[in-house]
A and B are shown apart, each in its own frame.
Chain A
Amino acid sequence: DTGVSQDPRHKITKRGQNVTFRCDPISEHNRLYWYRQTLGQGPEFLTYFQNEAQLEKSRLLSDRFSAERPKGSFSTLEIQRTEQGDSAMYLCASTRTVANTGELFFGEGSRLTVL
C-alpha cells in the first residue's frame, strides 16, 4: 500500500507525559498536513508543511505542540505535557501542489488517549 501511513495507530498515556506521532506521506507529495478530530466533530486543521517548511499553524496548536518535517519526507507531531483535552484522533494528510486543488489524501490516524 503506498498511501499515507501513521504510527502508532493508538497511544495511551498518562497526563503529563510526552508523545510523538509519525506520518509518512505518499512519496511524491510535497505538502503534508496535520489535523485533529474529536468525537462528533470534523477534522480541525493544525499545521501544514510544504517540503520541509512549516507554512501555517493554527491557533489550536499551543506551545506544547510541535511538528517537524526535517527532510521534506516524513513528519513528526510531538505533544509535551499531555492533558486530557489532548485526547483525539490525529490525522495526517498529504497532497501535491500542482493546480492547488486542495484534494488531500488521509492516513488512518493516530488515536491518543490521555488518562
Chain B
Amino acid sequence: AQSVSQHNHHVILSEAASLELGCNYSYGGTVNLFWYVQYPGQHLQLLLKYFSGDPLVKGIKGFEAEFIKSKFSFNLRKPSVQWSDTAEYFCAVNSGTASKLTFGTGTRLQVTL
C-alpha cells in the first residue's frame, strides 16, 4: 500500500524567508504527486501537481516542487514566503492506476511579520 510521510509538522518562518517542506512516499510504481493547501477556514485546494515530464513543477502563488524519483521525494519550495501563506500543506500521492489519493499528515506553516 502506498503511504506518504511529511516530517515537518509545524514550521514557523518570518516573512521573506525561504521555505522547503519535505514529502516522501512509498510506492514502487508510477505515481502522480500533489500538494494541497488549506488556508484557515477554507477547503483544501490544489497547489501543484506532477504527472510526468519535467520533475520541477510550478504551482500557484510562487510555489514549486521537485520530484526526485531516486529519493521517493516531492518537496515543496518557495523562495520568499508571505504572511498570507500561513496555512496547512498536505502532500498526496496516487499510483498510476489507483483511484484514490493518499495524504500525508500535513505541515502547519505559520508565517510571522
Contact = CB atoms under 8 A, between A and B. Distances in A.
B44 interface: yes
A46 B39 CA distance: 23
A15 to B, nearest CB: 27
A8 interface: no
B90 interface: yes
Interface residues of B, number: 27
B105 A102 contact: no
B44 A43 contact: yes
Nearest to A31: B99
A70 to B, nearest CB: 20
Nearest to B46: A103
B44 A56 contact: no
Interface of B: 4, 6, 9, 32, 34, 36, 42-46, 49, 51, 90, 92, 94, 96-106
Given A42-B4, A56-B100, A100-B99, 13 more contacts: A3-B43, A4-B43, A42-B90, A43-B101, A45-B102, A93-B44, A101-B32, A102-B98, A102-B99, A102-B101, A106-B36, A106-B44, A106-B45
